[in-house]
Amino acid sequence: MTPEQTAAAAPAASAASAEEARVGVVTPAPASGAVAATPSRVDVSPEAATFLVSLTAQHGPLMFHQSGGCCDGSSPMCYPVGFFRVGAVDVHLGDLHVDGIDPIEVYMSRSQFEYWKYTHLTIDVVPGRGAGFSVESPEGKRFLIRSRMLTEAELDYFKD
């Protein structure tokens, strides 16, 4: 791992807590050469997982679309299922698995995926103002992406 990758992964590389185990968070990169049981391109922080349970209780099943820029920058936008239409130009990155709620599908436009295809994305939540019509906007929080480079083993797993 390069120094830049190590620095980027350091905040997420804390010891696994009971909460992380409960929601299945696998943010740090697997050990060199190792592959997680089932590699994923997306994950969720414990804080975001807890928040998603609350948002699901308010709004019903949810989904994410990683916006591609423009007015809202590039941020994960969270919508009730059916409020945002995905199509042939979108890539399904994977599902977030949080105890107590249905899996949450995560999408990104195919053109943006070409730039991000070598990265693992973790959806986190921080205090701040949410963007656009994302459901967290009125809650005084916003979702953001924490990224790291995929390992060689993960890249091999995702090869076409």
Domain count, the chain: 1
- Is the pLDDT confidence value at 81 over 50? yes
- Is the pLDDT confidence value at 100 over 50? yes
The pTM of this model reads: 0.76
pLDDT of residue 130: 75
| 8-12, 46-50, 71-75: segment of lowest average pLDDT | 8-12
**Residue 103 resides in a domain:** yes
pLDDT of residue 69: 64
pLDDT of residue 97: 95
**Residue 106 resides in a domain:** yes
pLDDT of residue 74: 78
Sequential DSSP letters for 74-91? S-EEEEETTSS---TTEE
Going 5 to 9 to 13 to 19, the CA torsion angle's sign is negative
The percent of residues in the chain predicted with pLDDT above 90, rounded, is 64
Cβ 49 vs Cβ 23: under 8 Å = yes
**Residue 74 resides in a domain:** yes
List the domain range (segments joined by +) for residue 79. 38-158
Q: How many CB atoms lie within 10 A of CB 114?
A: 10
Q: How many CA atoms lie within 13 A of 117 on its CB side?
A: 15
- Is the pLDDT confidence value at 142 over 70? yes
Which one has a higher pLDDT value, 142 or 27? Answer: 142
Phi, psi of 69 (to 5 degrees): 120, -150
**Residue 17 resides in a domain:** no
Confidence of residue 160 (pLDDT cuts 50, 70, 90): low
| Mean pLDDT, residues 11-26 | 37
Confidence of residue 133 (pLDDT cuts 50, 70, 90): confident
Phi, psi of 49 (to 5 degrees): -60, -45
Distance CA 144, CA 60 (A): 21
| Amino acid, res. 65 | H
Distance CA 9, CA 28 (A): 6
Nearest by Cα to 121 from 66, 60, 46, 56:
66
**CATH code of the domain containing 124:** 2.60.300
Distance CA 7, CA 148 (A): 10
